[in-house]
Chain A
Amino acid sequence: MNFKKTFKEIRRSGECYLMLAPFMIFFILFTVIPVVMSVPVAFTDFNIVQKPDFIGLENFRNLFLNDRIFMKSIRVTLIFSVVTAPVSYALCFMLAWFINQMPSALRTVFTLVFYTPSMANIYAVWQLIFSGDRYGYFNSVLMKLGIIVSPVQWLTDSRYVLGVVIVVQLWISLGAGFLAFTAGFQNIDPSYYEAGAVEGISNRWQELIYITLPLMKPQLLFASVMQIVSSFTAGAVAQNLVGFPSTDYKAHTIMTHAYDYGWIRYEMGYASAICVILFLFMYISNMLVNKFLNQEQ
């Protein structure tokens, strides 16, 4: 009897594995293997065509001691992430909170307005907005207001490049995290607020802090993962907007650096070393955020 049961269970499990298989095969082949392999490859000299040469810590030594552009890219990535991740996170949350207080028809409109940028691929427009001559919208507005006298080279002046990239990144950053928050707010049972009102909660700030935030913890965690990934691996905006490489490498992120070595110079060993460091950054910051959010409770 017992024997029969185990057999049945294995058969059941077999069915489970069969249904997992299509996803898992592609996931292991195209995500797990590349990520795991990047670790050994990081210790080699590898150009894809020839066999990888084991060179020990050489790649990492070069990265940290000889590659000044890499050191720059770490700085850029940190500045970039420290600004965009929290600002965008706060923005996602705040806008979702505000939207939730609107009537249903307006919610639809505002959600669409704030979410559309994350779908848009309109760098040409941003180039014209920040264009370095007086035909640029931003320059012309500033000149009309008398804030500047002559046009500013927003996209090539090394002082402004990173700032412009951050602005555009924030603009496109209201994505999955924003939707998760919007949904999280709508999912909260109104009876919680009614109960809160009885308990003496009197304004929307108190509602937010004592009722909403604790209930939204799962969404807070999900959105933080999304934010960390998108800010640490950003590079597309800079490449499309201020060119590659950007003036004086001012918008050169770690991602851009990896892209340069991996896809342009085919130095996969070096590129892998960069990616390993980037993954480490993401992993650590995710742990810190999780710790922080768990402590809040």
Chain B
Amino acid sequence: MKHSDRRAGNIAVFLFLTVFGIFMALPIYLAFVMAFKPEQELFVFPPKLYTLNPTLDNFRNMLEDLSKSQLVPFSRYFFNSMLVTLSITVLQCVFSAMAGFVLAKCSFKGKNFLNAFIVVSLLYQSNVIYIMQYTLITKLNMINTYRALIFPMIASPMSLFLMRQSISQVPDEIIEAGKIDGANLFRICWQIVMPNQKPALATVMIFAFQSAWNMQSGSFIYRENLKTLPTVIQQLTASGISKTGISASASVIMLLPPVIIFIFARKSVIKTMAHSGISG
């Protein structure tokens, strides 16, 4: 193939990605602009794509408005979200790492069934289940507790699936060597296998953090001081256009933690996702 053809093709691809990327990034960019726009500039015709007078008013209003109208300070929602998200993330990583290790590398009765089961349950991991979980959460007396938000999200089939796929790339010899040295499975898992599974762990961490962080507390929580940040942002957005600036600034704060985590862990994610296939 002619070299110059490929080069021209690459430039075309680059241009396409750039144009498409600008469209994709525009709403995010606007969220930042709106968060820093003074209120009177939010509603002008024609709407502007920038602001010359950036201000922190929206952030200030957000802090005041939330504590005034909801009787709970903004920091409390942030704390709730962080507490719930971190608990979910840590437990999801630890549990799916151990289970993934066993499913990938150990032989025991029921293994084939469980492996097939995990692939099917990828389908049943969704917000439909929240509705069905409601009865259970009520029966367990967990309404209005952090547990109601944390427990249902701990066992994620996708995390288990990703861990299993990644660990199954580890050569069996390494595990056999551990067995000969007399290490038990727990030690083999955490001291021999996991140190080399940082990419997979980082991936599970990112997905767990992201889904937990964006979770609305829905009907599981109706006490104001236990609500999470996305729930409150949703309430703000629903309360109408007058709160647009506040909503935007809250959204920007919401967006930062997962994006920062993703940027730092991107390479690891790509490594793990390379093994994410389902062999059909």
Contact = CB atoms under 8 A, between A and B. Distances in A.
Partners in one complex: yes
Interface of A: 12-13, 15-17, 19-20, 22-24, 26-27, 29-31, 33-35, 37-38, 41, 46, 48, 95, 98-99, 101-102, 106, 108, 110-129, 131, 134-137, 140, 144, 171, 176, 179-180, 182-184, 186-187, 197, 202-204, 216-222, 225-226, 228-230, 233, 235-236, 240, 243, 255, 258-259, 262-263, 268, 271-272, 275, 278-279, 282-283, 286, 290, 293-294
B236 interface: yes
Interface of B: 1, 5-6, 9-10, 13-14, 16-17, 20-21, 24-25, 27-28, 30-31, 34, 42-47, 94-96, 98-99, 101-103, 106, 108-109, 114, 121-129, 131-136, 138, 151-152, 154-155, 157-158, 160, 184-186, 189, 207, 210, 214, 218-219, 230, 233-234, 236-238, 241, 243-244, 247-248, 251, 254-255, 258-259, 262-263, 266, 269-280
A20 B274 CA distance: 25
B127 A140 contact: no
Contact of A124 (B16, B127, B237): B237
Contacts of A108: 266
19 contacts: A13-B109, A20-B114, A24-B155, A26-B154, A27-B121, A31-B125, A31-B157, A101-B10, A106-B14, A117-B24, A122-B255, A128-B42, A129-B27, A140-B46, A187-B274, A218-B280, A255-B127, A279-B124, A293-B280
Contacts of B248: 122, 124-125
Contact of A263 (B31, B125, B218, B236): B218
Contacts of B21: 110, 113-114
B30 A129 contact: yes
Given A27-B155, A37-B132, A135-B43, A179 B99 contact: no
A293 B280 CA distance: 9
Given A112-B263, A115-B262, A125-B27, 17 more contacts: A16-B106, A26-B95, A35-B132, A116-B25, A126-B27, A127-B237, A128-B34, A128-B42, A135-B45, A176-B273, A217-B277, A222-B276, A243-B238, A268-B135, A271-B131, A279-B124, A286-B123
Contacts of A218: 276-280
A235 B30 CA distance: 24
B136 A23 contact: no
Contacts of B128: 233, 255, 258, 275, 278-279
Contacts of B157: 27, 31
Closest 7 CB pairs of A and B: A218-B277, A124-B247, A183-B273, A27-B155, A34-B132, A187-B274, A23-B99
A38 B59 CA distance: 43
Contact of A179 (B106, B127, B258, B270): B270
B134 A13 contact: no
B248 to A, nearest CB: 5
Nearest to B158: A176
Contact of B27 (A136, A171, A204): A171
B236 A124 contact: yes
Contacts of B214: 119, 121
B127 A235 contact: yes
A30 B14 CA distance: 45
A233 B237 CA distance: 22
